[in-house]
Structure 1
Amino acid sequence: MYRSHNCGELRINDINKEITLAGWVQKSRDKGFMVWVDLRDRYGITQLIFDESRSDAALMQLAKSLGREFVIQVKGTVIERESKNTVIPTGDIEVLVKELTILNTSIVPPFTIEDDTDGGEDIRMKYRYLDIRRNPVRNSLLFRHKVTQEVRNYLSNLDFCEVETPYLIKSTPEGARDFVVPSRMNPGQFYALPQSPQTFKQLLMVAGMDRYFQIVKCFRDEDLRADRQPEFTQIDCEMSFIDQEDILDVFEGLTRHLLKKIHQIEIDKFPRMTFEEAMRKYGNDKPDIRFGMEFGELNNVAQHKEFSVFNSAELVVGIAVPNAAAYTRKQIDELIEWVKRPQVGASGMVYCKCEEDGSYKSSVDKFYDQDDLANWAQITGAQKGDLILILSGPANKTRAQLSALRMELGNRLGLRKPHEFAPLWVVDFPLLEWDEETERYHAMHHPFTSPKPEDIHLLDSEPGNVRANAYDLVLNGNEIGGGSIRIHDKETQALMFRHLGFTAEEAQEQFGFLMNAFQYGAPPHGGLAFGLDRLTAILGGQETIRDFIAFPKNNAGRDVMIDAPSIIATTQLDELSIALNVK
């Protein structure tokens, strides 16, 4: 037995116990006649003591030889600590060591394995197995385990059955780029790694499984950012004989369950907002409703006043920043430069201060009088002491720019509190969206999403106005889950494919297996998938997901620890009938 206890469990009531511990040397302090060693494992830290008056010379010499990250086993007696440490749970005791065994030595680590490490992100990702020894990363992985465990408990108690679906599937033209896998036994043919188990979970509904879930790895070959990885994990769910209300009710329940179990927080309301309302009020379809600053559209009160910038704009829109009228010109200029960054892309910004005396001072006073500015304040909801910030230009682009500014100000003003949670359902998404590059409509979610029955007649005449039976669950300005009621009959699915530009032959070739299955009595069904990585990060009070993934990729999609992707041998390529043409 390597240990009788772990390094986080010994307490004052364990004094005089003979125990065995094993772990890593966090650090040691050699005072000549006495050596203290902090021994660490996953569960915590216990201080060890070696004392010349109570330890023999050989043991003292061995203790003095210990380096950081040596793996050791000790046997000894629990004693009361003279200088107690109130920061750690084991701080009332220490272990007087009688036997010491070095199980393995360690070279000097490339960074200090402490909460506040001196290692940069690149070096820590290269030595991720060392980074996981640090409390922040290890605790994030333990937190993810807890979330996953609660998800399984909740869904299993509602009769959901966990079913595994294949990882080697057929590539489809919709959605993001697939990762493809060559088939050695079928030269020139390829599998794809699943972007989601979408068609398989629908087939499980045809098969009568009724309630399915899977915590499943998915893959998308797309550009990365802080909350996106090429491989990610979904909580994937599907239900039969339900409507939208049933699904929203189940997953509101799951979200409530997680918040209560993990944070002891009770959430009463899950407000709902249409896609159109979200875009109009917040400029994006995943608004953070923990704070205000709703958009105010100013076309009617800002145009036709001899200010050509506004007169030529499709949209003039502003927000009221609370208590920011005291901003200096330098602070406002900094915000103007921020929105002009390429990542945001605005050409400029107009501002108006709502002074405490009830007057207004704007950057365009020569074009607008006090009554005009009072109208701006009314529409944006600005109060005395607030600052109105206004952008103008093409409607969609300007909304996106002001949305980015709103979120930035929310961060700067401390309005996006990490442990305050505000869920929101966004519903009634467009079924289709126009792609300028391909000059055709694409499914906003996926081609299996059901249109609203009352909008189907618009598919031929006004396809852009057809609403989908789709819904997203937003938490703190992040989409944590999305789903839809699915098409469950062959005729409607064929109609959808036709409007997405598929010929009948192409639809049959790509998705014939699904449409054929619909002929054997497919039930009405729908579902939802949560992004587990993002959900866990948000519940953990973070915006980025990397620390909640054991071995993440970097921004270039590389695993710098194992150096992947990498070149493979020519013999392997020959076996796969692949000829490289890399320039």
Structure 2
Amino acid sequence: MAQAKAKSTAAKSGKQGQTRQKPATQSHRTHIPELRDGVAPHTYRTHNCGELRKDDVGTQVRLSGWVHRVRDHGGLLFIDLRDHYGLTQCVIEPENAHFTLAEDLRAEWVVRVDGKVVARTDDTVNPDLPTGEVEIRIDSLDVLSEAKELPLPVFGEPDYPEDTRLRYRFLDLRRETLHRNIMKRVQIVAWLRHRMTADGFFEFQTPILTASSPEGARDFLVPSRLHPGKFYALPQAPQQFKQLVMIAGFDRYFQIAPCFRDEDARADRSPGEFYQLDIEMSFVEQDDVFNAVEPVLRDLFIEFGEGRPVTEKFPRLRYWDAMRRFGTDKPDLRNPIEMRDVSEHFRGSGFKVFASLLEKHKGKRDWYDNAEVWAIPAKGGGSRAFCDRMNNWAQEEGQPGLGYIFFREGEGAGPVAKNIGAERTEAIRNELGLSDGDAVFFTAGVPNHFVDFAGRARTKVAEELELIDTERYEFCWVVDFPMYEWDEDAKKVEFSHNPFSMPQGGIDVLESIERGETDPLDVLAWQYDVVCNGVELSSGAIRNHIPEIMYKAFGIAGYGPEVVEEKFGGMLRALQYGAPPHGGIAPGLDRMVMLLCDEPNIREVTMFPLNQQAEDLMMGAPSEVSPEQLKELNIRPALTQQQKK
């Protein structure tokens, strides 16, 4: 007996022992034993499973929770008991009247234990647990709920198929990492609400049932019973409503806003629904929005970033500069590589592939007509093996290849260096600041056609050479987006970003376009993005609040007044009754939590996400409804034969 008791502290929770999974053989009656001074405590617990400490030694307690696992140590049974707050190790001896019941316990059964808090010996303390200095010597044990054999494990973090995880999401959420992510999300939302209110913003709720709006994605439609043949739409964003809040005379709005878009899933975008920190302000310019939002984002990432450095002052990158330097309008500034236009070093050179491209593609619009050669410097990439590997990657990406020069023994090597000659090679090396052991890769063509590949190549080089500092948060603003872009398929000018933004230059620049004095592709808008670690957190803009400017802006893109009035009549009417200059932004909550939890997929920070096919496997949505419901809504499905299958 003494030996058995000596072993009672020999197990560190989560460190040793075997999990017991014996099948249940009997039903178990629950009862409420009396505890201290003959007075029964709360029915289920006096403490939670994360709060007991060494100061509680000698206290008689009651805990309830899930059986995390059961371990056998020389006749003693150790039960790790878990609830929302943490985990406590409990021990029961063979002499205990409840020992047989303890032997029957299986993972994820819900139990209640009564017992005394005892101290672990110094050599058995578990420093990884907040409760690791103590354990519970069980007096009585009751089963509150049994669990069937689990379809996926809760203990540990094994990689399990996504469909299984989502079908049994209520079990998946019991896993430590996912549970911690969701609680961090809760804390982030609470922090944001407190901070925005402290900064003088007011939280307003905007409608969920609204009218369909062409905002770039498909709407989710809701049929109206009272208005046969008509539909509500779930809001893709509260964009128009928050502008109407400003027009109504409220000054600084925010909302943790649900948004609904019928679009495909991505790692950083959930299908169906997502949330954003929606913000709008009256009587502001771009700097006012930045000055209000930047401290909130910076302090949020300092508060929840677990000590990682955060950009002190967000740099501002002009859109065209970002595209040319980084190949994207959402650059990851942890990546030190900056691309450079080196076209002049190849013009008329012996490298005919590039020289002929530069000669062939010439036009009036640099981004859309003229060919260029961009260099991607690669510090530390100066080996033929690495260069060939990058070239093979480019071919796998559907490109003809990726030209390169690598430097060794004071000179450039490779086919490109051989064809352009030593003088041009040395000029490229000097311009890019490269040395022996370094390399440079080249992409060429019309920038509008190859910029996306160039950006991905820049990222690939940095990842392969481990140049990215992953232990920091690097923010930036991307500003001065073009108001319009050239649609090659339609052969016309189209909006490039948000059509409701104010053009830089206002009505004067639009009238200059109408007179043929200004190219619409040269017009910039008061539009901006905020980016962190290569993830676009949000787009925003100073809004167009003048109806005449809206008519002219849409007219340049080929939309007549009748189209504007049909699609945006509500907003136009509101602007006609005294609209203040206003602007805003809406950082994505899910993406911020994803970054702060260091997760690559947004489903790891969402409590009940849909799968890649926008299905809720747990609840069975979307689902068919009864003929009676359809009749009441005046709906008759028109499925194709393939869809019926």
Which interval holds the TM-score relative to the shorter structure? over 0.9
Q: 1:376 aligns with which of 409, 417, 428?
A: 428
What pairs with 1:385-424 in structure 2 (closer than 5 Å)? 385-424=437-476
Q: Which moved more, 1:296-305 or 1:64-73?
A: 296-305
Structure 1 counterpart of 2:291: 249
Kindly state the Cα deviation for residue 270 of structure 1 after the two structures are TM-superposed. 1.0
Q: Does 1:235 align with 2:277?
A: yes
Q: 1:525: how far off?
A: 0.5
Q: Provide the rounded CA distance (Å) in 2 between the counterparts of 1:116 and 1:384.
A: 44
Q: 2:581 aligns with which of 502, 517, 524?
A: 524
* 2:270 match: secondary structure: coil
Matches within 5 A, 1:168-187: 168-187=209-228
1:131-530 equivalences in 2 (<5 Å):
131-230=172-271, 231-263=273-305, 264=307, 265=309, 267-313=311-357, 314-325=371-382, 327-329=383-385, 331-341=386-396, 344-355=397-408, 357-453=409-505, 455-460=509-514, 461=516, 462-530=519-587
| Matching residue's letter, 1:312 | S
The alpha carbon displacement at 1:398 in A equals 1.9
Contact 1:273 1:427 in 2 (8 A): yes
**1:580 counterpart letter in structure 2:** P
CA distance 1:358–1:486, shift in 2 (3 Å): same
Q: What TM-score do the two structures reach when normalised by structure 1?
A: 0.94
Equivalent pairs counted in the alignment come to 575
Do 2:118 and 2:135's aligned partners in 1 also have CA atoms closer than 8 Å?
Answer: yes
1:271, distance to aligned residue in structure 2 (A): 0.8
2:607 maps to 1:550: yes
- Whether the 8 Å CA contact 1:322–1:382 is kept in 2: the answer is yes
Aligned to 2:106: 67
**TM-fit CA distance, 1:426:** 0.6
| Deviation, structure 1 residue 446 | 2.2
Separation (CA, whole Å) in 1 of partners of 2:116 and 2:173: 30
Q: Counterparts of 1:39 and 1:227 in 2: how far apart (Å)? A: 35
Is 1:77 aligned with 2:116? yes
Distance 2:82 2:48 in 1: 9
Contact 1:354 1:384 in 2 (8 A): yes
Q: Is the 8 A contact 2:327 2:455 kept in 1?
A: yes
Distance 1:150 1:508 in 2: 41
What is the distance in 1 between the residues matched to 2:638 and 2:304? 51
- Alignment correspondent of 2:14: none
Task: State the Cα deviation string for residues 46-72 of structure 1 (Å, max 9, x = none).
Answer: 11100124x22xx00111111000011
| 2:86 maps to which of 44, 47, 70 | 44
State the SS of the aligned residue for 2:312: coil
Q: Structure 1: which 5+ runs fail to align?
A: none
Letter in 2 for 1:337: N
Which structure has the larger Rg?
2
| Alpha-carbon distance in structure 2 between the residues aligned to 1:181 and 1:382 | 60
Q: CA distance change for structure 1 residues 414 and 139 in 2, over 3 Å: closer, same or farther? A: farther
- The match for 2:636 is 579
TM superposition shift of 1:390:
1.2
1:19 to 1:431, Cα distance in 2 relative to 1, 3 A? same
Alignment-mate amino acid for residue 597 of structure 2? G
What secondary structure is seen at the aligned counterpart in 2 of 1:225?
A: coil
Q: Provide Cα deviations, 1:251-309, integer angstroms capped at 9, x if missing partner.
A: 11111221222235564221111001001111110111113211111211023223232
Contact kept? 1:419, 1:541, Cα under 8 Å: no
Residue among 119, 125, 128 paired with 2:169: 128
Q: Give the letter for the 1:349 counterpart.
A: L
CA contact (8 A) 1:178 1:194 kept: yes
1:482–1:469: structure 2 CA closer, same or farther, 3 Å change rule? Answer: same
Between the aligned partners of 1:147 and 1:411, the Cα distance in structure 2 is 30
1:333-372 alpha-carbon deviations (Å, 9 max, x no partner): 332222223xx432211111122x3211123344122221
2-side partners of 1:362 and 1:391: how far apart? 16
Partner in structure 2 of residue 106 of structure 1: 147
Per the TM alignment, residue 328 of structure 1 is displaced from its structure 2 partner at its CA by 4.5
TM-score, normalising length: structure 2: 0.86
Q: Residue 533 and residue 196 in structure 1: after superposition, are their counterparts in 2 closer, same or farther (change >3 A)? A: same
What does the per-residue CA deviation read over 1:122-178, in whole Å, with 9 as the maximum and x for residues that have no partner?
Answer: 321221111111111111111111221221111101111111111111112342222
RMSD: 1.8
With over 3 angstroms needed to count, the CA separation of the structure-2 counterparts of 1:514 and 1:152, relative to structure 1, is same
Q: 1:439 to 1:42 in 2, by over 3 A?
A: farther
Q: Equivalents in 2 of 1:27, 1:317: separation in Å? A: 58
Match of 2:11 in 1: none
Distance 1:310 1:582, change over 3 A: same
Residue 32 of structure 1: how far off its partner (Å)? 6.3
State the alpha-carbon separation in 1 of the partners of residues 398 and 503 from structure 2: 34
* 540-549 or 450-459: bigger deviation: 450-459
What secondary structure does 2:243 align onto?
A: helix
Measured in 1, the distance between the counterparts of 2:251 and 2:500 equals 18
C-alpha spacing 1:515/1:69, structure 2 compared with 1 (3 Å): same
Ranges in structure 2 where 5+ consecutive residues have no aligned partner: 1-41, 358-370, 641-645
